[in-house]
Amino acid sequence: MPRYGCVTGPISGPSERSENSDVLELLRPEVRALIEDRGFETLSEAQAGAIPPLLAGEHLVLIAPTGTGKTESAMFPVFNTLLSSPGPGFRALYITPLRALNRDILGRLTWWCERLGLTVGVRHGDTPQNERRKQALHPPDLLITTPETVQALFMGKRLRKHLEQITHVVVDEVHELAGNKRGAQLAVALERLREYAGEFQRIGLSATVGNPDEIGRFLCGARPFTLVEVPVAKHLDLGVRCCAGEFEEQAKCVEEMVGAEPSSLVFVNTRVTAEALGHALHERGDVEVHHGSLSKEVRIDAEDRFRVGAVRALICTSSMELGIDIGHIAHVLQFGSPREVARLVQRVGRAGHQLHAVSRGTVIATGFDDLLESLAIIRRARAGAVEKIEPYANAADVLANAVDAMAVEYGEVPLNTIREIVERSGCFEDAGPLLEKVCNQMVDHRLIRLEGEGPATRVVTTGRARRYLFSNLSMIHDERKVPVFDIVARRTVGTLDESFVVSSLHTGAVFITRGELWRVLDFEEGKLTVEPAREARGELPSWEGEQIPVPYEVAQEVGALRRTRDLAAYTPDADAIAFAGEMFARMDTNGAQVPTDRLITVEDSDEGVVCNICAGHRANEAIARVLSVLISARTGTSVGTEAGAYRSVLRLPKGVRAADVRDLLLATDPAHVEGILRLALRHTSLFKWKLVQVAKKFGAIDADADYEKFSLHRLLDTFNDTVVADEAYNELFRAYMDVEKAAGVFRAVQAREVAVEVGRLSAIGAEGLSSSRDLIPPPSIDHAVISTLKRRLAGDQVVLFCMHCRAWTSRTRVERVAETPQCPKCSARLVAALKPWEEETARAMKKKEKSAEERAAEKRFLQNANLVLSYGKPAVVALAARGVGPETAARILARSRDEERFYREILKAERNYVLTRRFW
């Protein structure tokens, strides 16, 4: 069993200096001298707690807030050991999840290493070839790298030799890795490293987590380890400020708070919000935006300018959550709820960033849900109730990757050896049966061969195995960018991540990008076709890692707060209490019941049924999908769903109302939830997309293959009832749906622990239809849409062709066409306005003998010319529109009483063309 030693209290009072002195005495004189030279007046709690067990050679996990000196806590003892036992090869690895952290850590550790006579290098995907060669010939004592580059170290014969001298591995920000497949791959890599280096010391540095013992097991497997945990609550000064209303008012609130501090980080949840706030505060001249979509150079410049005081505030996303050193931060603002306790703690921990400093943070709540959620998260942060991180256990594609890597590494290797290595890790403790399935699947794809039988079975590499490995060093799925094409302006307006398009968008869905709302018309051939949306609620475009689901526990506490209405127990802020009180009063006045942790309300609205359930994003997503598939099966009609932390909206066919949804909540067997979800997902583009991703990581599909090129039917035939399909389901459930919590909601309803009431749409229920907390809506865009359409059509090419003499053809822009088009050769006004691609067909009109296709075109051209004869230039404009022929143009012209109606009808026709063209 692991051994846990825990530091839980501050080092303070008269004995502090004495205790620090005792710890410092354990270090070599040259390390102590540098600590003094660096200006360390005293050790932090983290350092004082971590240094003794590390010097004793124990594996250790250090859980501490940002700014408490975690890096030095690990490295002082490492320096000590490296100085005591010099030798060739890499002797310590420092692994971080981000290249930006590599850069930051390199800058911090170079100072120490140069003065101690140690060498340090950095290696990741962008490291130049000459530097890699240099490291292979003359390996540094300390190598700073990423989890993916660790995989590459096993591929070179010389590099593998250098691994034999490693005595320490530090994994920084280990909480960022433990819950995903990158971490599972790293856990196996550490066990592969043990085959060369023997047992080395493992050191994990983590922000506050709810289950530190599991983080330790993730890093160390079954080995005993010491846990040093510095409590976070006493380091935090948290508050909330209610700033509901228009975005402009909220931006002014941010500006006021930024102006009151010498330096601030303003965290937001999406890059759209970061850009919108940055634009609103641009005129200040001392505010910069910092997020992952910006170039590295722009981000570094913003960090440097903040560090020297040229920038007063950085508006940032998760790009600044980790411990990149940007100097002193006086105050952290969180714009909108942080959604998770861990995220709030990590972000606010950036403030102070000095030993013993208290970190000050304020959440700016932007609405009713946002306010209550922020209060619940702040209370949980003060109580130390941080979310647990669930290590990714038995991921089949990670196991396939590891098997392939070891087959390439050794040429051939006993299957039992592979089993022993992977089962030592904290992510594959009982992988035996899964390993056999994975290996059989890999044989089918010619990645390995299995030779021998029983205990003598050997895994043998193939020519395909090395090619696969070069394309799959990382477990991060390749994310294709999908262009967004505006049919009004006929231009590309941006790109979205494929994951967002596949998982969240459908025909008719509304989303926001570049500060504007768009409605989806079509997704085909890798392109998303859209139109500007008016007065609509939008989903935010997603970037990897940016969607932040609210956990079940937080949503349940919000439900409890709604039930008790005791906001005074959470905050002394009178404005916040009054704002929430107004919503409760409105509900009471209208006779509406407030949905809580013990009451689900199901409400009829004009747009469908709103299910108010305080269960968090992933549980509500699962519940909504279960309900939608059951209703679809009964009615034969598709059901649209939108799920949030406190409600889901079901877009239902006529005749299905709230009472029917309540009956399903009462009747659906909780044991069937997972099975229903598998059926619901099986024929979706989301499952197809995930299946392709997992198959790529299995080597069953080439890494650069486009998922659109595969038919879902073919994929299902190929991978049905295989570990590939099982892993696709597992990953979807883990990322998007909480099956267990959803089943628990059904059980609680049927046990009458949670009541279900039916009613009309309430003010709280309407929050799911009329607002999105992360949405920054632009002003009404009707006029702008019409203006854009007019400009585009005016600039479009049109071919004028005389249907009388059939001897005159002219290609021009619509804006240059006369109000009454006329043939300059015969003076006739029977002039057709054709699309540019119809010009070739027009030449055939001079032929005496025409084919059936040409006769049909002649009839269409005559209809076209008659419209131009009757209506003049407006007919030319209508006929220039995409997908508009003579019959559609005739309807447009007949219905249009004024110019605005005319262009609206054209827009409607273009939209209809995009929606229906696939069926022609």
State the pTM of this model.
0.78
Rounded-to-integer distance, Cα 385 and Cα 557, Å: 12
- Counting beta carbons within 10 angstroms of the beta carbon of residue 6, is it exposed (0 to 12), middle (13 to 18) or buried (19 or more)? middle
| CA 861/CA 510 separation, integer angstroms | 38
For the chain, which residues make up each domain, given as ranges? 16-232, 234-382, 396-471, 481-532, 592-770, 782-919
Is residue 604 within a helix (H) or strand (E), and if so which, with residue range? strand 599-605
The gap between the terminal CA atoms of the chain, to the nearest Å, is 67
Amino acid at 459: V
Cβ neighbours of residue 756 closer than 8 Å, sequence gap 6 or more: 599, 600, 601, 602, 662, 665, 666, 749
User: CA triplet 669, 670, 671: central angle to 5 degrees?
Assistant: 90
SS3 track for 22-58: HHHCCCCHHHHHHHHHCCCCCCCHHHHHHHHHHHCCC
Long-range CB contacts (< 8 A, 24+ apart) of 683-690?
Answer: 683/712, 685/502, 685/712, 686/502, 686/503, 686/732, 686/736, 687/712, 687/728, 687/729, 687/732, 688/712, 688/715, 689/498, 689/499, 689/502, 689/503, 690/728, 690/731, 690/732
Tokens 């696969």 belong to residue: 468
pLDDT at residue 90 in the model = 93
Nearest to 248 by CA among 787, 779, 731: 779
Q: What Rg value do the Cα atoms of the chain yield, rounded?
A: 32
d(CA 238, CA 348): 8
Q: How many residues does the chain have?
A: 920
Helix, strand or coil, per DSSP, at residue 834: strand
**Percent of the chain that is helix, strand, coil (3-state, to 5):** 50, 15, 35
Element (H, E) at 226: strand 226-229
Residue 541 per-residue DSSP state: P
- Does the domain at 396-471 match CATH 1.10.10.10? Answer given as yes
Q: In a 3-state reduction of DSSP, which class is residue 458?
A: strand
Residue range 234-382 forms a domain whose CATH class is alpha beta
**pLDDT computed for residue 908 by the predictor:** 80
16-232 has which fold? Rossmann fold (3.40.50)
Check residue 95 and report its DSSP letter: E
Strand positions, DSSP E, 54-197: 60-63, 92-95, 120-123, 142-145, 168-171
CA distance 679 to 469: 33
DSSP 8-state symbol, 183: H
Determine the Cα–Cα distance for residues 204 and 227; give it in Å rounded to an integer.
Answer: 10
What 3 state SS string does 563-602 have?
A: HHCCHHHCCCCHHHHHHHHHHHHHHHHCCCCCCECCEEEE
Provide the CA 875 distance to its chain's centre, in angstroms: 47
Place of tokens 């005792």: 22
Q: Pick out the chain residues at pLDDT < 50.
A: 1-16, 536-546, 771-781, 919-920
Smallest CA-to-CA distance from 202 within 155, 236, 173, 167 is with 167
Phi, psi of 647 (to 5 degrees): -165, 160
User: What pLDDT sits at residue 353?
Assistant: 52
- Going by C-beta distance under 8 Å and a sequence separation of 6 or more, which residues neighbour residue 7? 45, 46, 48, 49, 228, 229, 230
Strand partners, 530: 486, 520
Whether 16-232 shares its CATH topology with 396-471 is answered no
Residue 470, C-beta contacts closer than 8 angstroms, at least 6 positions apart:
none
